[in-house]
Chains A and B, each alone.
Chain A
Amino acid sequence: MQRIIKNGQVIDETWHLLDKDATLDGLSNSDDLIVPLALWREHAHALKVRDGGLGVWLDSDEEVEEIADELGNFKVIALNFPSFTDGRHYSSARLLRERYGYQGEIRAIGDVLRDQLFFMQRCGFDAFAIRADRDPHDALQSLQDFSVCYQGAVDQTPLFRRRQG
């Protein structure tokens, strides 16, 4: 079973991540599913009435604005990194947390490696599906890479505001 990092701990993965070209055929009613944006677009109603949990995932060229009015439907929003050097979803995560007030899980999926985690958590990610060939336990350490940060992000205000306190 795959293990993911959630809230700073390694836990068993219970959600099913559907492929980009997935259809409704053969989906179990009770599984927890993270569906691609296209499937949600086409079958929102059918997906909403299932018993299992619902999440959606966005590829790096898909924008959070697309789902901004529908965030209440999702327990998980997974943001895909086709390559770990593609930084678009760092902005997506901040927008979800700071502009749209999304409180559910924001999960990094795809080419997710430990040296990205510190930045990702500052942008609002709280779950990380580390690339399958890497040990999530090793990756945990990177969440503590820095003890101080200058600029504000989702996790804290800028240092210059805290300095004054």
Chain B
Amino acid sequence: MYVYDQYDQHIIEDRVRQFRDQTRRYLAGELSEEEFRPLRLQNGLYIQRYAPMLRVAVPYGLLSSRQLRKLAQIARDYDKGYAHISTRQNVQFNWPELEDVPEILAELATVQMHAIQTSGNCIRNTTTDQFAGVARDELVDPRPWCEIIRQWSTFHPEFAFLPRKFKIAVNGAVNDRAAIEVHDIGLEAVRNSAGELGFRVSVGGGLGRTPIVGSFINEFLPWQHLLTYLDAVLRVYNRYGRRDNKFKARIKILVKALTPEVFAERVNAEWMHLKDGPATLTEAEVERIGRCFVDPAYRSLEDQEIALARLDVEHPGFARWRTRNVFAHKKPGYAAVTLSLKPTGTAPGDITDKQLDALADLADRYSFGEVRNSHEQNIILADVEQARLFELWGELRELGFATPNVGLLTDIICCPGGDYCSLANAKSIPIAEAIQRRFDDLDYLFDIGEIDLNISGCMNACGHHHVGHIGILGVDKKGAEFYQVSLGGSASRDASLGQILGPSFAQEEMAAVIEKIITVYVEKRVEDERFIDTFRRIGIEPFKERVYAANH
């Protein structure tokens, strides 16, 4: 992974000093609440319902075991003993004291971590495929490009006060596991017919109040021009994005208002001035960054198909876990393992300090000392020898990481909701738990197959409900919490937004509603058809009829 040099280290240490002084001035009354707000937000510090929440940046989701141990220590010393993996592949602490934040940042800086631009109206953490660098369907490793974007966006002086937050995602594989089409900018690494590397650029995607799938405005941007082009897009947005209404301030509204074609023309006109300028990337720089992402010292191994198949027969639980939580690796004899943070009864994405420490230990022993966070709020050991999978499975079971539900109905993306977040209209964690309890039969869960269920506690859509195959949105009706269901969303390639099923439901109805939806699917599917494919074939009506039938 990327290792800081003296420059990188200087920058985060300067930041610690700066934020320490900003916090001091705020506590001394020299900065008003209003003035401090954007400063603390650009440092990932929210004032939440019960306490501040600190969001720590995990660039493109990559963490070393050393960093995990530091996060564990912070969870113990400054929080209530746990952390939370967010849908931007970051890590959140829910209970730090404001006064302690400068010290937490100083601790983080000792392991090359920070909280820069994890919130606020600026360029946020760039995200990518959690299997970057190891996936079999990968064309280009997106990580060096994410790091190049990280450096470019860190304290970018021109774009520190944008109309709204700004999110970039990069994909380098055949499948899109980074949800690029629902980002402000989505970048897909591609090669042209001459074998040259470039990027297909999508803009104006995003969820929230006005969900929109992005439009591709450039089919091939040569890699040298990545940063000048990003500068051009951001400059057009900074100058012409709406600032009168925060709900209309995202770039998606500007792209829609201008049309993607006109927006692309504006960007091109701006880019003509910046193209070939000093921000044009050099081969030397790309190689320098790329050297941080070369393969680890893989052993020369053979795939263990027969041995694993034998273990599968002896241990059905292992077989189940392998089916769901183990992902094909580009190197023979290796596998990528997803640790499920979605056991029933735990808030999705939560992890304790002890688990973090244990995870660091596992990373050291099984996966070259590294893990990745996924935007589905799970954690991945990316480079595990297949011959050690059984042994690892045993350890994961003891730690509570082996729930074999990755990609299944109970692997729910879920925002913190009304239990923690002051923006939420409704709770989301109890809904997730009720659904998990209703579908606690593993055989049934496996039979249902691949399905994305996403829950958000409000319109801001932190739980990405619009792109869930089944989406649940908490809504407020005359002070009471209700839940709206949508079907047919997808964050994958050719992303789609869910259609609303109909009137919303009370909290206690939700598990039964989901069960009815699943029953319709099971009845109507053909062969191995996934939920999303059945939905796309039969439409929303059969679901609507079944779910609302009992209400009449």
Q: Which residues from chain A sit less than 8 Å from chain B, CB to CB?
A: 63, 84-88, 90-92, 94, 99, 113, 115-116, 118-120, 122-123, 145-153, 157-161, 163-164
Contacts and interface: CB of A to CB of B under 8 A. Distances in A.
Contact of B157 (A115, A118, A147, A164): A118
A87 B284 contact: no
Interface in B2-48: 7, 10-11, 14-15, 18, 22, 35, 38-39
B35 A84 contact: yes
B152 interface: yes
A162 to B, nearest CB: 9
Q: Interface on chain B toward A: helix, strand, loop, or mixed SS?
A: helix
Contacts of A120: 157
B157 A90 contact: yes
Contact of A87 (B15, B18, B238, B273): B238
A13 to B, nearest CB: 23
Interface in B242-259: 243
Nearest to A120: B157
Interface of B: 7, 10-11, 14-15, 18, 22, 35, 38-39, 121, 151-163, 227, 235, 238-239, 243, 273, 278-279, 281-282, 284-285, 288
A149 B279 contact: no
A87 B243 CA distance: 10
A151 B238 contact: no
A99 B151 contact: no
B279 A158 contact: yes
A120 B227 CA distance: 20
Contacts of A99: 273
Contact of B278 (A87, A145, A157, A164): A157
11 contacts: A87-B158, A87-B161, A87-B163, A146-B15, A150-B7, A150-B154, A151-B156, A158-B227, A158-B279, A161-B278, A164-B284
B250 to A, nearest CB: 15
Question: Which 6 residue pairs of A and B lie closest in terms of their CB atoms, listed nearest first?
Answer: A87-B161, A122-B157, A119-B157, A160-B285, A150-B151, A157-B278
Contacts of A85: 38, 121, 161
B35 A113 contact: yes
B22 A147 contact: no
Contacts of B239: 63, 88, 91-92
A149 B152 CA distance: 9
Nearest to A164: B284
Contacts of A90: 157-161, 238
A9 B504 CA distance: 61
A148 B13 CA distance: 10
A88 B160 CA distance: 10
Contacts of B162: 87
Contacts of A158: 152, 227, 278-279
Contacts of B284: 160, 164
A151 B151 contact: yes
Contact of B14 (A94, A123, A145): A145
A86 B7 contact: no
A161 B238 contact: no
B14 A147 contact: yes
A43 B387 CA distance: 82
Contacts of B10: 147-148
Contacts of A157: 278
B269 to A, nearest CB: 12
A159 B289 CA distance: 13
Given A148-B7, A152-B279, A86 B35 contact: no
A160 B282 contact: yes
Contacts of B152: 150-151, 158
A49 B31 CA distance: 44
Nearest to B160: A119
Contacts of A146: 11, 14-15, 18, 155
Contacts of A145: 14, 18
Contact of A150 (B18, B155, B282, B288): B155
B28 to A, nearest CB: 12
B161 A86 contact: yes
A163 B273 CA distance: 24
B14 A115 contact: no
A67 to B, nearest CB: 15
Nearest to A131: B35
Nearest to B36: A115
Most chain B Cβ neighbours within 10 Å, of A86, A119, A151: A151
Contacts of A119: 155, 157-158, 160
Scoring A88, A115, A145, A159 by chain B CB atoms within 10 A of each residue's CB, the highest score goes to A115
